[in-house]
Amino acid sequence: MNVPAPRPFRVSTGARVGFLLLALYAFYAASQLDFTWDRFITGLDNGARFIGRMFPPNFSNWELLIKGLVESLQIAVLASLGGILISLPVSLLASRNLMPSWATWPARALIAVCRSLHPVIVAIFFVKAVGFGALAGILALVVASIGFIGKLFTEAIEEISLKQVEAVRATGASFANVILFGVLPQVFSRFVGFATYQTDSNLRSSTMVGIVGAGGIGGTLFAAFQRFDYDFVCAILLSIIALIMVGEMLANLIRAVFVEGLGFGSRDGKRPAPAVPSAAKEFD
């Protein structure tokens, strides 16, 4: 009796029905949103004319450009610093392996609320509350940082090994020393990675919240669009791209120093052997 060989990567009937329903809904949604091929072709033509008007870029108003970029950088740095400092205690409170449920649920609810709204929407609220300017942008990105970093910090803490925590507790250490010597060594490298990524994200978002009046280069960009000054728009966009690339390089350097153990003077790119083994190395 010949037994048919099982088919690899076989898709169940339920999965096929699900894919079919998803495809049908995609076509339905496209029809409801007035998405047509003619509009797409017309949009390509309009986009080509728009890009043609952007070149060559105009850097003549460089003082206004530099002022906006510096303000965006300041917003990103201050918002990241504030968000990280607030996220650390909130993450500890939200960690179910360290805290009781009466402490974790309010902290998790705060993180969920901060993650629910886009930074631009939050910036509109703060513009109404504190007025136009960089303060509204800083507060909006602090809220966004708490939502993102708080969630990742919490997940990292919940994945630690409790053996090291219990060993520190057995010495009679206080709760602060347990956190300092039992928890942070295991998650420090991940914290650095999360913090640098959020700083890079805040640098991008700081150029966007200015569109609603929350400071930064976004306000300058929006004003240039309103004046149909497209060559200056191109200069602003190129400057934003350059700023983001520099920020990415700095973030990689910070990760190399704190996570990979490379010094600023390391030229061969090789990681030196640590003198004292660290418990956090197994979690890199």
Q: Does 282 score more than 50 pLDDT?
A: no
> CA 241, CA 50: separation in Å to the nearest integer?
19
How far are the Cα atoms of 14, 154, 200 from residue 187, in angstroms, in the given order? Answer: 40, 10, 20
Tell me 180's DSSP state: I
Q: Residue 65: which H helix or E strand, with range?
A: helix 62-94
The one-letter code for the residue type at 137 is G
Q: How many CA atoms lie within 13 A of 160 on its CB side?
A: 31
| DSSP code for 1 | -
For the chain, give every domain's residue range. 62-262+275-283
Determine contact, residues 252/242, Cβ cutoff 8 Å.
no
- pLDDT tens digits, residue range 223-234? 888 888 888 888
Q: What angle do CA 42, 45, 50 make, to 5 degrees?
A: 125
Tens digits of residue pLDDT in 57-89: 888 888 888 888 888 888 888 998 998 899 888
**Token digits for 168?**
């520190």
For residue 37 the two structure tokens come to 């091929």
Nearest to 65 by CA among 238, 248, 226: 238
DSSP characters for 89-131? HHHHHH-TTTS-HHHHHHHHHHHHHHHHS-HHHHHHHHHHHH-
Provide the pLDDT for residue 259.
64
pLDDT tens digits along 248-265: 888 778 777 766 655 444
Candidates 1.10.3720.10, 2.60.40.420, 2.70.170.10, 1.10.490.10; CATH matching 62-262+275-283: 1.10.3720.10
Would you place residue 283 in the very low, low, confident or very high pLDDT band (cuts 50, 70, 90)?
A: very low
Please spell the DSSP secondary structure of 200-253, one letter per residue.
HHHHHHHHHHGGGTSSSHHHHHHHHHHTT-HHHHHHHHHHHHHHHHHHHHHHHH
- Token pair recorded at residue 25: 């809904």
pLDDT of 173-222, one tens digit each? 777 888 888 888 888 878 888 888 888 888 888 888 888 888 788 888 88
For the chain, the residue count is 284
pLDDT tens profile 3-45: 666 666 676 777 888 889 999 998 888 778 877 778 888 888 8
DSSP 35: -
Question: Which whole-number Å values give the CA distances from 177 to 131, 140, 185, 214, 272, in the listed order?
Answer: 42, 33, 12, 40, 28
Burial of 208 (0-12, 13-18, 19+ CB in 10 A): buried
For residue 158, what are the CA distances in angstroms to 131, 150, 216, 280?
Answer: 39, 12, 37, 14
